[in-house]
Structure 1
Amino acid sequence: MYGSIAAVKDLSLRVRRGEFLTILGPSGSGKTTALMLLAGFVAPSKGDIRIAGKSVASVPSYRRDQGIVFQSYALFPHLTVGANLEFPLEMRGMKAAERTNHVVRMLKRVHLEDFGHRMPSQLSGGQQQRVALARALIADPPFLLLDEPLGALDRNLREEMQGELKSLHREFGKTTICVTHDQEEALTLSDRIVVMRGGQIEQTDTPESLYDRPATRFVANFLGEANILECPEFKVEHDGTPPSGTLAMLRPERVCVAARTAPKRADADQRQSIIGTVEGMIYAGALRKYHVRVGSIMLITREHVASGQQIFQPGDEVRLDWLRSDVRFVTA
């Protein structure tokens, strides 16, 4: 509770040993508070937190055996890289010679074996992130907490570090809980994703299931783009019977765009087709997006750019079609 405001409400979550779990949500959803509760920086107003069956709700953060990586890295600026890694080992009473061996091995693992004598200010953002990860792992904690770990990096470096994080998780097998607002990061790294909204869990599932079969309109729109087919102009065709009180949803990459007069596809009997007018086209390197108006709604399509592909301009009439089996249903 923050005054009379409950930042997290009725949060019930079980994390499996060795999994990479990501808590995903927009600003104000409660994801950071959830991580602070797990880390011991915030005390729960009620309920319990258990690790391996043991309650730690009243245990202060410094007495919890955990590794933490912050968005700001939180490296000690007055210590060298090697001394930063040595610090948690020294706090645990490890002898100097053994500490040195651990530091050398860990620096080699994160490809910084020649950087042990440098100061954090002499490192790039990606190198500082590697040091922060190495420091969190070096004392072999049973679990790892990551708070927006890649948020301060540019896109290319962020993608590189996503690969490094996945590699470290496979190698060390640490139970890892990561907080982020970056959907791509969550989809890339996670075994499971918890989507939060308004201090509560909206849906928990694997990345594939969350993206392909979101339960609610919020999850569909937050985890990627979604076409919500609320349209009086045409009746949505689909396989099976939709659940009561749901809306039809279609991912943009499932929608194919073609000239109005183009020949029908070989599987046309399994598809629904409609005619619309292009209102906008966005070229994004590997992808091309169209905004197509169909009556009162705007549909988004997304296709991979290929040579010889027909390009449509605003004002062009096009045919959109999709497999009826690709239609999903979400609650409002």
Structure 2
Amino acid sequence: MENDVTLAQIEFRNVTKTYGPVVAVNDLFLSVRCGEFLTILGPSGSGKTTTLMLLAGFEAPDRGDIFIAGKSVAAVPSYRRDQGIVFQSYALFPHLNVGRNLEFPLEMRGIKAAERAKRVDSILARVHLNGLENRMPSQLSGGQQQRVALARALIADPPILLLDEPLGALDRNLREQMQSEIKSLHKEFGITTVCVTHDQEEALTLSDRIVVMRGGRIEQTDTPEAIYDRPATQFVAKFLGEANILENPGFLIESEAAQPPGTVAMIRPERICVAALDAPKRVDSEQCQFVTGTVENMIYAGPLRKYHVRVGPTLLVVREHVASGRRALQAGEAARLEWLRSDVRFVAA
């Protein structure tokens, strides 16, 4: 699927990039389909930002090639690649007002003043910044600056949009608002979008597909739901959300499938139910595994409670939604844990 060139607008073929002895991107093969929102996710040093810089034309590969719409662009400078780019710092021109910031990419393309003014008015309305064209960037809030940066990237109707940690400078509430805005803009414009982030929630919320990178290589590529629910490796399971890795847990793992060689069992914290020992069992209890343990810690987080429960040598993390009238278990209290055998996953060690 990853090498299906009939659907690919962007392709990395055998791309390697080094910085001295450091291999930042190692033999990368990746395709991005037309109109897709693809997020590259990974820790620092995984190669995700270098991959984006290679696509943007700010870096050149040492080996391999990059194709856009079937044409090699490895030797094409960034200013000749028809792409909109939004940086984490927004990179707005501080000496130009909002209107002039938005006009700049149109002016560089030789578009006449009347058409520039028309497009500026249109895009400002779309990002809910009507009437702010004369403001300077320093007079805008962080969310407004982000909207201007997005508008500037979109105003020339590029076929490709690149996002480099686009929401990293915003607080949580603004970040959630802008996630909705970006998702809406992507749906409206239909632009092929490649986003780089280390924020797992952002990747799950925005993406059609997620690429998880590690050490310059792709660890796994899939839809957000599939990559979260069926991680291929222990690294992906632990990096994308929390995971209970059940390696020598001290109790027999019950599952619907036999455990493949070279794998360990894993279950997500929200798939585990926690209850007092005398609480009624689940209605689907015949499909469940039950273990008993001791609550070591309970963390209240508004709509969620997070438990650490000791079961023999294993400390299990459990996450449950706070329900009206449901009593919280306290540290030192005995607890019964239960989960569906079908929720156990096996990941490469």
Q: Specify the TM-score bucket, using the shorter chain as the normaliser.
A: over 0.9
Partner of 1:52: 69
Output the CA distance in 1 between the equivalents of 2:227 and 2:193.
19
Query: Could you tell which deviates more after superposition, 23-32 or 224-233?
Result: 224-233
Output the CA distance in 1 between the equivalents of 2:23 and 2:291.
46
Partner of 2:50: 33
Change (3 A) 1:328 1:104: same
Partner of 1:276: 293
Q: Does 1:295 align with 2:345?
A: no
Partner of 1:261: 278
Q: Does 1:81 align with 2:98?
A: yes
Normalized per residue, the structure richer in strand is: 2
Q: Does 1:11 align with 2:35?
A: no
Q: Does 1:247 align with 2:264?
A: yes
Amino acid aligned to 1:329: F
Amino acid aligned to 2:209: R
Q: Aligned-pair distance for 1:231?
A: 3.0
Amino acid aligned to 1:192: R
Q: Does 1:20 align with 2:43?
A: no
Partner of 1:187: 204
- Runs of 5+ in structure 1 lacking a partner? none
Q: Aligned-pair distance for 1:232?
A: 4.8
Q: Does 1:137 align with 2:146?
A: no
Output the CA distance in 2 between the equivalents of 1:212 and 1:297.
22
Amino acid aligned to 1:36: M
Match of 1:117 among 124, 130, 134: 134
State the identity %. 76
Q: RMSD of aligned C-alpha atoms?
A: 0.7
Amino acid aligned to 1:216: T
Output the CA distance in 2 between the equivalents of 1:212 and 1:203.
13
Q: Aligned-pair distance for 1:27?
A: 0.6
Partner of 2:227: 210
Structure with the larger RCO, 1 or 2 (CA within 8 Å, 6+ apart): 1
Q: Which runs of structure 2 are paired with 1:96-245 in the superposition (5 Å)?
A: 96-245=113-262
Q: Aligned-pair distance for 1:105?
A: 0.4
CA offset digits 1:156-215 (Å, max 9, x no partner): 000000000000000000000000000000000000000000111000000000000000
Tell me the secondary structure at the aligned position of residue 165 of structure 1.
helix
Q: Does 1:66 align with 2:87?
A: no
Partner of 1:95: 112
State TM-score, norm by structure 2: 0.94
Output the CA distance in 2 between the equivalents of 1:120 and 1:54.
37
Output the CA distance in 1 between the equivalents of 2:327 and 2:274.
10
Work out whether residues 41 and 199 of structure 2, in 8 Å CA contact, stay in contact via their aligned partners in 1. yes
Tell me the secondary structure at the aligned position of residue 248 of structure 1.
strand
Tell me the secondary structure at the aligned position of residue 226 of structure 2.
helix
Work out whether residues 249 and 314 of structure 2, in 8 Å CA contact, stay in contact via their aligned partners in 1. no
Output the CA distance in 2 between the equivalents of 1:278 and 1:326.
22
Tell me the secondary structure at the aligned position of residue 185 of structure 2.
helix
Amino acid aligned to 1:27: S
Q: Aligned-pair distance for 1:263?
A: 2.2
Output the CA distance in 1 between the equivalents of 2:155 and 2:281.
59
Q: How many residues align?
A: 332
Output the CA distance in 2 between the equivalents of 1:155 and 1:230.
35
Partner of 2:8: none
Partner of 1:319: 336
Q: Aligned-pair distance for 1:264?
A: 2.0
State TM-score, norm by structure 1: 0.99
Work out whether residues 259 and 346 of structure 2, in 8 Å CA contact, stay in contact via their aligned partners in 1. yes
Amino acid aligned to 1:290: Y
Tell me the secondary structure at the aligned position of residue 11 of structure 1.
strand
Work out whether residues 46 and 215 of structure 2, in 8 Å CA contact, stay in contact via their aligned partners in 1. yes
Q: Aligned-pair distance for 1:49?
A: 0.4
Tell me the secondary structure at the aligned position of residue 33 of structure 2.
coil
- Runs of 5+ in structure 2 lacking a partner? 1-17
Amino acid aligned to 2:147: R
Output the CA distance in 2 between the equivalents of 1:38 and 1:232.
44
Tell me the secondary structure at the aligned position of residue 29 of structure 2.
coil
Output the CA distance in 2 between the equivalents of 1:216 and 1:154.
31
